[in-house]
Structure 1
């Protein structure tokens, strides 16, 4: 019996209702169906006064999900998509992303297109697009304290955000750099259209094997976004007397103390997006962010002398 997974946002009634309907439809068609909520992929935040509680990356796989699942379907917005990939990326399961939210930058179809999309998938008429993810780890005296899988970005800043921080950053074998800024963002190409973009970083097409480091409101005209090979391991040492806050994909975080070390590298696990038609990144940029839309009328003809 073929096996499929469904991950849904249990806070949204439309996602819950659709998950139940989809569950019944797939069972009637002879599929074994595993249900899970996106809540399991949200790590939460460490306690203010206590040490961070380490949750191993592989332990977030939902019960019943395994390598026998041919594909999974996620019902929610971008936050649920990020959570779902944190749950299933270690299994390499391709994911159809269905938008029941607002922006839906990471989603493939809207909920009113789901029935047609399912029929197309069951017929095997789809492609799989692979995108890189990050493994983010916090060490305290060489002891692994906290870790998370990341699709968009890791952000490190002080509380409050408007207070300047100092960072010593080593990228691979290159000479370390010093950055003074409100914070720093380390982003994948997927995350280049998220917080990194708002902080002045460039948009990077998904197929490029790079990472980017973006200072948040840097205290120097010389500190600007840096794009580099994603095979380089990044080591971050906070050069501050006070603790910092680290946030991963906007829904998981950890306090970072002055003597801690943050290590970020490309994860061996990838996010595998199901595409019902050939991926067209520029079209998504145009539809979701208005990139490339004309702001003035173009001439309809040019008269040659």
Structure 2
């Protein structure tokens, strides 16, 4: 009996209702179905009273989810997709993402396309697109204090955000660089259309083997976004006291002190997204963000005499 999974946002009634409908249809077609919510992929935030809120990377996989699963249907918005990616990446299970949220930049289909999407899943008529993830770790000396998988970005800043921070950053074997800014963002190509984009970073098409470093409101005209090979690890040494706040994919946080080192490298885990048609990134940019739309004053072609 083939096996499938469902991860849904149980805070949204429509996602909960659709999850039951999807389970019933797959079960009727002879599939074994395991369900869980996306809450298990949300790592939580540290607090001054509880500075360590840590689950090992492989510890987020829900019970019953394993490499025998053919696919997982994800019902929610981008936040649920980010959570689900951490839950299943260690098992390498492909994700079919259905948008029940708002923007849904990471989702593949809408609810009105659900019947056709399920038929394609059952018949195996789809492609797989892999996206790079980062392994983010906080070290104190040689001890790992905290770790997480990251699909979009890691952000490091002070509380409150509008306070100047100082960072020493080492990329690969290059010379250290000093950045003074409200914070820094280190982003994957997938995350280049998220916080990094809002902070002035470039859009990077998926599949390009790079990462980017984007200062947030830098205190220098010389500090601009930097794009570098994703084969090079990054080490960030914060200078500010008493602590900075690190946020991963917008739903995981950890306090970082000057005694700590934040280490980022390309993870050996990746996210596998199911695509019902050949991936077309420029179409998604146009539909979701309005990139490349024809200008109203675009001149028409004129035939020369």
Q: Settle same-fold status: TM greater than 0.5.
A: yes
Residues 142-192 of structure 1: CA deviation (Å, up to 9, x unaligned): 211111101000000001100000000000011010000000000000000
- Equivalent residues in 2 for 1:157-176 (5 A)? 157-176=157-176
1:19 pairs with 2:19? yes
1:178 pairs with 2:178? yes
Secondary structure in 2 aligned to 1:148? Answer: strand
CA distance in 1 between counterparts of 2:133 and 2:142 reads 23
**Contact 1:134–1:151 (Cα < 8 Å) also in 2:** yes
Q: CA deviation at 1:220?
A: 0.3
Partner of 2:254: 254
CA distance in 2 between counterparts of 1:125 and 1:35 reads 23
CA distance in 2 between counterparts of 1:159 and 1:53 reads 18
Greater shift, 44-53 or 62-71, is seen at 44-53
Gaps of 5+ in 1: none
**Contact 1:53–1:145 (Cα < 8 Å) also in 2:** no
Q: CA deviation at 1:25?
A: 1.0
Partner of 1:189: 189
Partner of 1:121: 121
Partner of 2:76: 76
**Contact 2:51–2:254 (Cα < 8 Å) also in 1:** no
CA distance in 2 between counterparts of 1:196 and 1:112 reads 31
Partner of 1:98: 98
Q: CA deviation at 1:140?
A: 1.6
Residues 25-65 of structure 1: CA deviation (Å, up to 9, x unaligned): 11111000010100000010113134413310000000000
Q: CA deviation at 1:204?
A: 0.1
Partner of 2:152: 152
CA distance in 2 between counterparts of 1:161 and 1:208 reads 31
Q: CA deviation at 1:88?
A: 0.1
Partner of 1:139: 139
CA distance in 2 between counterparts of 1:251 and 1:53 reads 12
Secondary structure in 1 aligned to 2:287? Answer: helix
CA distance in 2 between counterparts of 1:192 and 1:53 reads 27
Q: CA deviation at 1:93?
A: 0.5
Greater shift, 17-26 or 51-60, is seen at 51-60
CA distance in 2 between counterparts of 1:110 and 1:68 reads 27
Partner of 1:43: 43
**Contact 2:43–2:53 (Cα < 8 Å) also in 1:** no
CA distance in 1 between counterparts of 2:169 and 2:121 reads 44
TM-score, length-scaled by structure 2 = 0.98
- Equivalent residues in 2 for 1:204-223 (5 A)? 204-223=204-223
Q: CA deviation at 1:301?
A: 2.2
**Contact 1:129–1:274 (Cα < 8 Å) also in 2:** yes
Partner of 2:235: 235
CA distance in 2 between counterparts of 1:260 and 1:239 reads 10
Q: Report the number of matched residues.
A: 305
1:198 pairs with 2:207? no
Partner of 1:265: 265
Secondary structure in 2 aligned to 1:270? Answer: strand
**Contact 1:140–1:259 (Cα < 8 Å) also in 2:** yes
Partner of 1:286: 286
Q: CA deviation at 1:298?
A: 2.4
Q: CA RMSD in A?
A: 0.9
Partner of 2:55: 55
CA distance in 2 between counterparts of 1:108 and 1:233 reads 31
